[in-house]
Structure formats: C-alpha cells, structure tokens
A and B are shown apart, each in its own frame.
Chain A
C-alpha cells in the first residue's frame, strides 16, 4: 500500500504523491505535502486542530484514512488566501486578538470559514454551535466568536472593510486594543511549532513508558529493538554521560527511569528510527523486567511511618514543608466567639494545551547540542542539560519554539534530555512528538490538595486566629512542588488580615503522576478553601458574605502574614465593583434560596444548548425562566 499513488487537488494544485506510511489524511498533508497548518491536537477527532475541507465539506483530517480522500479536492488553511493577503475571517481573528498561543487557530479559522460558507447569516448561537467541534484553551472563545461575527458582517456588507483595520493608535498602550504582531503567522497556519519542523535525515523518536506505578527495573534488553531495520539507536538511562537529574528546585528526576520507575508513564527507553511506525514496532521489542514495589497514592498515607519510600534521599516522602507563623494562634482561638473547622479538597488537573509536547534536537557542526522545544524555561533547562550530558554550557543550546499553550505545563524538562541523548548517539536530527495520550500520562498536573481550615471569629465577623494545613500530592518527582508550596503558604489566607496565624503547606511524594506548575501556582487551591470557608463562617454568623470580607480585608498600611507592608491595596474597590456588578442581594447566605433576585438577568450567561439551526428561539427563552 505505501507505493499507492495518491491523486489529489490540494489548494488548487494537482498533487500526485505516494501514500508512504501516511495512513491518515492529516499525516499525508503534514508529512508528505508539508502543509503543517493542520495540526494534531488529539488524534481522536475531539479538538479540531486538523480541520480541512475535503470536496467542499469541512472534516477532521485525523479521522480520515488517507485513501478515502484519493481523487478529492482538498483545501487547507494555507489555501484560503493568496500568500500576501488574508481572508475576512483571518483579518477579523487578527483584529479581535482571537489568536493567542495560535495552535487551535488554523482549525478555528477553518471552522469559522465553514460556518459562514454554510450559512453566511449564521447568528451568534449558530456560530457557537458550528464551532463546537474545535477546542481553544487560551481565549475562552469570546474573541473568536466576536471575530466570526465581524467577518460575517463585513462579508455581508453590513460593516465596512475598515472594521477589520486596527484601532487608531492611542496615546497609551494601556487600555488600548493593540493587535498581536504574530497573529498573521498563526491565522494562516504558517507558523511552525516544534512538531511541524523537519530537518534532512531526521529520525523519529518513540518512548517506552512504565506500566507500573512503582517498580524496580531488574533489566532492560534493547538488543532486538536495536537490530530492527530502520532503527538508528535506542537510549536508556545508561546512555547519560554526566550527572543525571533535573527539576525546577530539587534535581530528583532522571532523563529516563534509573534503577526504578516511580509513576505510570515514566520514560524507560526511547527508540529513534526512520519512521514513527518503525520506532513503535521497535518499542515492542524492548524487554524490561520489573520487580513491582509497594506503591502509595495518597499523600497522607505517604506521610505515615512505614509508608513506601519513593526517593532514597527523602525517607519521609517530604518534598517540601513551608511553615509560616504570626502572633499567638492559641490566644487568638481563646478569644474567639466561634471556631469553624472544615476540610477542602481539590483535584488533579491537566493543562490540556492544544499543542502536545514536541521537540527537535541535533548536534550542530560545531558540536553544539541544540534542542528546539516549546519549553517555558529554556535557560534553566540549558544549565541542567549541560551537567546531564557533561558538556560545557557553550555546547548546549535551547531554542524556544512557539508554545502552543503552556500554562506552566511546559516548564519541566521531561523529554528534551532524551532528544539530546538520541541526537548525540545517532549523529542525526531527532524529532519527538507526543500523542495527546502521552501528554496526559507523562506531563505534570496541578497539585491535588487537602486543606484543613480552622478559623476563630468574633461574633461581628472579625477573624482572631487561623490555622491552615495543606497536604499536597506532589506525585513521583519534585518538579515545581517547592515553589507551589511557597506560593500556597504566602497566599494561603488571601487578601485578608489576621493577627494570629499558623500556616503549614506540605508537598509530598507519591507514586502518582508528578504535580508541577499550573497557572496560579498554588493560589487556586488555597483560594478555593479560603473563600469557601469565609462563606461558611458568614452563614454561621448570619453575616453578608461581602460584609465578612470587608471586616477582614487588607487595606493600605496592612501587613501581610509574611511581613510585607502594603503601600497600595485595591481589595475594597474590588469588593465594591464585584458586589455592584453582580447586583448582589444583601443578606446572610441563609436568608436566600430559589427566590433570590440576583440570579439570571440580561447579562448572565444562558445554559448551553444545541439546535440553534432548528429550534424555535422563543421556546428556549421561556424555558430558562427561573421558577
């Protein structure tokens, strides 16, 4: 089948090419025709980064066997407009700032184009529905939908072409809408992310991952894999020439599992071969003998004496404990009229950036080990890798490729080391592109946390003492845990002032997927607990939730629990605006129920529904009445 010749018309040009190993239309477009505007965000038809027109209908090219498209007419994002111009849709995306990381954007532009081709008069609800198969993680969709509506009205002549022009330059950039200079490269699909890059003689890497949460590696036999035709090299921890270990704070993580695996999905070996298919076949030929070890999945269990030890250097499984003390907590509780205690838990969360991890490494003619990847921390990675591969720093180069969404999840050097080793061992460029499944199994997550709150209050709502204990699941490696624990401790009590406080945050090793950086970095977990707890206290004291916050909020001149005197503070203003904006109905939480007057209203978001194309709108409206 690989020698079957595909005959297609692509972006107006006849194309006659062998199928090769490009089994899906997406692979054929990207690998054979180098049309990399269509991306692979999930490979399962969920995300829409791969949308292309086939015979005039928009489809997900990751779901289409290549041969289904034999003889078809294909239009990709690269073919929407001539090289030096943009369509109305593309210009509108530029105008509104709809492209941020840009990875979903070629697919979004295609879906928007399809929506307006199918119905040039599509209203807001229908646009939303027609774009429903495409996911964006940066924008919250508002700017995308705004762009499609502007494009629709310009195409229909209801808005002038100038509606697509940038806003007139203002005196200041602050408060002005400034267009992103990188948007044209994103809306046209021209921008090359790491997984879009190719080099002559490039190899493809695939990674063998641990099926066990905690196991000793008895032996790894790569001989059969290495003997497979088309395989250039297989690497394991044994190939690391220097001092193995990386991490944002503690360098506890080897490039690949060394001696034992500590979580499911940990890299054990990696194959570089002439094609992804050969590399995958070779993975099946690697024999790893494991001896399973008792594993621990709950951080509180991991803290108990006798729990399985995950790292020898940390016999108590402690990554980091951050204590903060202020005033006399016991005296504060003694003074309280009411003490409220509760425990809050938050879950592990995946960043789910649309661009799965990818990288391309080579050793340049001067012997410089060079790695392109969407790393969020290239300088730190460079220093760590130099030690790991035992080369001077001027022989290690990190180039940051466009980041197709990071949100903190691309701070950890979980694959760049493998690429460097393989490029050094094979002498050839090596590319690795994670699948979505691999990205989810191997990348860091938001720390799941269990927070025990104890708060003492006077009956007027003033807080006299706080005890805050947070146990966080750091997973198998340290990564950013220390920083997250520090930030969580600093932000533990939010924007409130209390005379007596005791904060303890603990990051604990377990055999779960490692936890790492995630936007807000420890604050999300603590704010969830703090704000929920304040609502609970307001209820018990019969106070308005805004009022209890006002009585305890920081002001100019307040001192935080880490000893910082505030010279500016906007908390009062924030509360005032929030209260006004949500048309807050005053009173204790207990005083309201289904009859509260601040639910619904003209500027509230309606529940999601489908069927904008055939439902009677008035029926929908009346259904949303609040009884």
Chain B
C-alpha cells in the first residue's frame, strides 16, 4: 500500500528547491509518480510509507522545452508523450519517438517524465541509451546561500550505477540538455515481455547521418541499455563506421563487437545474442529512417555468412 503524510506540489523552482532543501532523508522527490506508486506493492516494496513527497511536475520552470544552437533543452517535467506527438521534438530527436512508443502506453507516457526516468537510473531504463547517443547533459539545481545555483554533468557521469546518481540532498534535476539532430535517421530497439508497457531486458538506440552521396556514413551514434550497471555508448563502433561506405557486411561486422560488453548479472548469454541483433537492427532501422531501402532477411543472412 502506498501512503504518505504530506505531499507538496510546488509551482515555482524556488519553492521546489526550498522544499528539497528541507526534505527528510526518507522523503522522496517524484515527477510522474508512475514508478513509485506501483513500487508500493506486494512483492516489490510492500507497504511503503513516505513522510514527505515532493512532486515537481507542476513547477513552471520545468514545463516544456526549447531548441537553441543545435541543442535541445528538455525541462524536467516534460512527459514522454511529447517525444511521440510533438512534431518539433520528433524532427530534432529522431531516436526518441521509437523510445517513447516502446516506453509504456499512451496513458503512462502522459505522466512519466524523461528526467524521472534518468534519475531512477535503472540499468534497463529506456531513456538513457537514446540520451547517451544524443550527448545529453543533466542540469542540476540547488539553493546555496539563498541563491539558485546550477551545475551540469554529462549523462554518463550523472548515472553512477543501478539506481545511483550523483544527485545530492537538496538538489533537483531541472533539465536534460542534448543534441538536436534534424536530418538524422533514428531508431530504438527493445526487448521485454509484453508489447505495450514493459520494462526492457535490453534496449538500443541509434542515430545515423548520411553524407551528400547517401552512400557513406557521415555520422553514427550508438548506445545500449540493460547490459551493464550503467548505459553504454559504443564510441569505437561509431568510429569504425564513420566515413565508411555503407554495406550490409560492414553493419554486420560492427554488430558482432558489442556482445563482449555484456556485463549484466543475469541472462548473460541471452543478452549477448540480443545485443548483436539489436545493434544491427538499430543501424538498419536508422538507415531506413534516412530513406535507405529495407534490407531483406536474405541480405542479412548473406552478410552474416
């Protein structure tokens, strides 16, 4: 059973930070709340009581997004549904519609936030791989001597382990800032137990840009989730593909490499199998999103042979 003594719903950043500064250790900051409410169930957290809940979803400064100088500022209360339905976000963050559609269902996406997903820091969190691929940074704010001070960290440094981040007491995530990449093809792969609404076992995100000849990888971004304590960016494979002529064989070769990186505690062999297929499918789907022809199963078999 999910119970609480007090519930705060601040409307401004200052108000939120003041509440965060006095939040007791067993208090909890929430945004959408879609993870914490079902956590308080038999078999997970059981009966969970929070003395204080601080709900930051109505903070004015946390609403909406802005795109400036090639970067997108995604404020902390931006729900997942925006990545699916907002045409500007879809164009600028090409790997996010796929992430959003697999993230949950329409009803949960209306509540759940990207920032909350990253703060949860689940090794299988859907939001982290595409954000790693988009060179995301996390902006944190706190009150210091009555003044609002902020700091920014790359996402890879913000998440330090399963369920662990560098967030300090009194600190709130205010925004996620990432590359805006119109013109890239994006994709997201995920495997779980149900089509709608499932937690990933493994997920992968890819972004691809073609050069003007449309036969060469101008840029490639790849990241994986669910295979290690923290999400991984695959810089070496990106490097291997960048500037090369696009062939099935090259994509197949690249897809074999990251299986070695699987460092999960469970289902290691399974995850290795999935990863190979996922990296390949992620690149192929991103290429298709750029307008490349859809490869047939036969092409794929030949490339692997």
Q: Are B33 and A63 in contact (CB under 8 A)?
A: yes
Contact: B197 with A623, CB < 8 Å?
A: no
Q: Say yes or no: A64-B111 contact (C-beta < 8 A), given A23-B4, A70-B9.
A: yes
A277, chain B: closest CB distance, angstroms? 7
Instruction: Encode contact with A along B104-135: 1 for CB under 8 Å, 0 otherwise.
Output: 11111011000000000000000000000000
- Smallest CB gap from B196: residue in A: A132
Residues of A within 8 A of B42 (CB): 435, 437-438, 441
Q: Does A397 contact B (CB under 8 A)?
A: no
Residue of B nearest to A622 (CB): B294
Q: How large, as a class, is the contact surface on chain A?
A: 35 or more
Q: Is A44 touching B101 in the complex (CB atoms < 8 A)?
A: no
Kindly identify which residue among A44, A60, A608 contacts B41, using a CB–CB cutoff of 8 Å. A44
A614 touches B84 (CB 8 A): yes
Identify A619's interface contact among B5, B107, B294, CB under 8 A.
B294
* Chain A residue nearest in CB terms to B47: A280
Q: Are B196 and A133 in contact (CB under 8 A)?
A: yes
Interchain CB contact under 8 A, A45 and B106: no
Q: How far is the CB of B155 from chain A (nearest CB, A)?
A: 24
A114, B105: Cα distance in complex, Å: 12
Interface window among A51-59, A148-156, A178-186, A530-538:
A51-59
A280 and B1 contacting across the interface, CB-CB below 8 Å: yes
Given contacts A45-B38, A68-B33, A130-B106, whether A613 and B84 have CB atoms under 8 Å apart is: yes
Rounded to whole angstroms, the CA-CA distance of A627 and B301 in the bound complex is: 10
**Is there an interface contact between A45 and B101, defined as CB atoms closer than 8 Å?**
no
When the two chains form their complex, are residues A133 and B41 in contact, meaning their CB atoms are under 8 A apart? no
Partner of B6, one of A1, A111, A132, A619: A1
The digit string for A602-627, where 1 denotes a CB below 8 A from any CB of B, is 00000010110110100100110101
The complex places the Cα of A289 from the Cα of B6 at a distance, in Å, of 36
Whole-angstrom CA separation of A111 from B107 in the bound complex:
9
B172: interface (CB < 8 Å)? no
Q: If A68-B55, A437-B43, A619-B294 touch, does A57 touch B105 (CB 8 Å cutoff)?
A: no
Complex contact A133–B106 (CB within 8 A): yes
Residues of B with C-beta under 8 A to A539:
none
A15 at the B interface (CB under 8 A): no
Instruction: Indicate if the CB atoms of B101 and A133 lie closer than 8 Å.
Output: no
Contacts of A627 in B (CB 8 A): 296-298, 301
From B42, which residue of chain A is reached at the shortest CB distance? Answer: A437
Do residues A62 and B37 form an inter-chain contact, with CB atoms below 8 A?
A: yes
Q: Quick check: A133 and B102 within 8 Å, CB to CB?
A: no
Closest residue of chain A to B298 (Cβ to Cβ) is A627
Question: A50-85: contact bitstring with B at CB < 8 Å (1 yes, 0 no)?
Answer: 010000011110111101101000000000000000
Given known A-B contacts A68-B33, A133-B106, A437-B41, A611 and B197 have beta carbons under 8 A apart: no
A522 is an interface residue with CB less than 8 A from chain B? no
Structural contact, A65 and B196, CB atoms closer than 8 A = no
CB distance A611 to B288 under 8 Å? no
A469 to B83, CA, bound (A): 56
B258: interface (CB < 8 Å): no
A133 lies within 8 A of B108 (CB): yes
Contact across chains for A133 and B197 when beta carbons are under 8 A apart = yes
B7 located at the interface, meaning its Cβ lies under 8 Å from any Cβ of chain A in the complex: yes
Hey, which chain A residues are within 8 Å of B294, CB to CB?
619, 622-623
For A70, what are the chain B residues with a Cβ–Cβ distance below 8 Å? Answer: 9
Q: How far is the CA of A65 from the CA of B50 in the complex (A)?
A: 12
**CA gap between A623 and B98 in the complex, in Å:** 17
Residue B97 contacts which of A614, A619, A623 (CB distance < 8 angstroms)? A614
Does chain A have a CB within 8 A of B214? no
Residues in chain B near residue A68, CB distance under 8 A: 9, 33, 55, 57
Is B90 located at the chain interface by the 8 A CB criterion? Answer: yes
Given known A58-B106, A114-B106, A614-B84, contact A63–B3 (CB-CB < 8 A): no
Q: Does B267 contact A (CB under 8 A)?
A: no
For A56, the closest partner residue in chain B by CB is B110
- The answer on a CB contact under 8 Å between A24 and B37 is yes
Within 8 A of B (CB), among A1-56: 1, 4, 21, 23-24, 43-46, 48, 51
Q: Which residues in A have their C-beta under 8 angstroms from that of B288?
A: 616, 619
For B33, give the chain A residue with the smallest CB separation: A65
B55: chain A residues at CB < 8 Å are 65, 67-68
Are B33 and A133 in contact, CB atoms less than 8 angstroms apart?
no
A residues less than 8 Å from B63 (CB atoms): none
Complex: chain A residue closest to B111, CB-CB: A59
Output the nearest chain A residue to B84 by Cβ-Cβ distance: A613
With a CB–CB cut-off of 8 A, which chain A residues contact B104?
45, 133
Asked whether, in the complex, the Cβ of B111 is within 8 Å of the Cβ of A63, the reply is: yes
Q: In the complex, A622 Cα to B106 Cα: how many Å?
A: 27
Q: Say whether A276 faces chain B, with CB atoms less than 8 Å apart.
A: yes
In the assembled complex, which residues on chain A have CB atoms less than 8 Å from the CB atom of B33? 63-65, 68
B2 located at the interface, meaning its Cβ lies under 8 Å from any Cβ of chain A in the complex: yes
Query: Given A1-B4, A614-B84, A622-B294, do A60 and B9 touch, yes or no (CB 8 Å)?
Result: no
Kindly provide the distance from the CB of B190 to the nearest chain A CB, expressed in whole angstroms. Answer: 9
CB distance from B267 to the nearest CB of A (A): 19
Query: How far apart are the CA atoms of A247 and B197 in the complex, in Å?
Result: 38
Query: What 1/0 mask marks residues of chain B from 1 to 22 whose CB sits below 8 Å from any chain A CB?
Result: 1111111010000000000000
Q: Does any Cβ of A come within 8 Å of B195's Cβ?
A: yes
What's the Cα separation between A118 and B106 when bound, in Å?
Answer: 11
B34–A67 touching, CB < 8 Å: no
Q: What distance in Å separates the Cβ of A576 from its nearest Cβ neighbour in chain B?
A: 34
Known interface pairs A610-B102, A614-B90. Does A45 touch B108 (Cβ–Cβ under 8 Å)?
Answer: yes
Task: Chain B residues near A616: list those with CB within 8 A.
Answer: 288
CB-CB contacts below 8 Å: B75-104 with A: 84-85, 90, 97-98, 101-102, 104
Q: Mark B284-304, 1 if CB is under 8 A from A, else 0.
A: 000010000010111001000
Task: Let me know if B227 is at the binding interface, CB within 8 A.
Answer: no
Interface centre among A46, A57, A60, A441 (most CB of B within 10 A): A60
For B6, what are the chain A residues with a Cβ–Cβ distance below 8 Å?
A: 1
Among candidates A21, A43, A441, A613, residue contacting B38 with C-beta atoms closer than 8 Å: A43
CA distance A58 to B110 in the complex (A): 8
**Chain B residues closer than 8 Å to A64, beta-carbon distance:** 33, 37, 111
Q: Is the Cβ of A44 less than 8 Å from the Cβ of B296?
A: no
In the bound complex, do residue A63 and residue B37 qualify as a contact, i.e. CB atoms below 8 Å apart?
A: yes
Bound-state CA distance A64–B79 (Å) is: 14
Expressed in whole angstroms, the Cα–Cα distance for A45 and B102 within the complex equals: 15
A residues less than 8 Å from B301 (CB atoms): 627
Say yes or no: B107 contacts A60, CB within 8 Å.
yes
Is there a chain A Cβ closer than 8 Å to B53's Cβ? yes
Q: Which residues of A contact B195 (CB under 8 A)?
A: 132, 608, 610
Instruction: Tell me if A48 and B43 are in contact (CB < 8 A).
Output: no
CB of B107 within 8 A of CB of A51, answer yes
Contact call B108/A63, Cβ cutoff below 8 A: yes
* A60–B112 alpha-carbon span in the complex (Å): 11
Residues of chain A with a CB closer than 8 A to B84's CB: 613-614
The 10 A-B residue pairs with the shortest CB-CB distance in the complex, in nearest-first order: A133-B105, A132-B196, A44-B38, A437-B42, A627-B297, A67-B7, A57-B110, A627-B298, A610-B101, A63-B34
Q: 7 A-B Cβ contacts within 8 A?
A: A48-B105, A63-B33, A63-B34, A65-B55, A611-B97, A613-B85, A625-B297
Measured CB to CB, the residues of A under 8 A from B are: 1, 4, 21, 23-24, 43-46, 48, 51, 57-60, 62-65, 67-68, 70, 111, 114, 118, 129-130, 132-134, 276-277, 280, 435, 437-438, 441, 608, 610-611, 613-614, 616, 619, 622-623, 625, 627
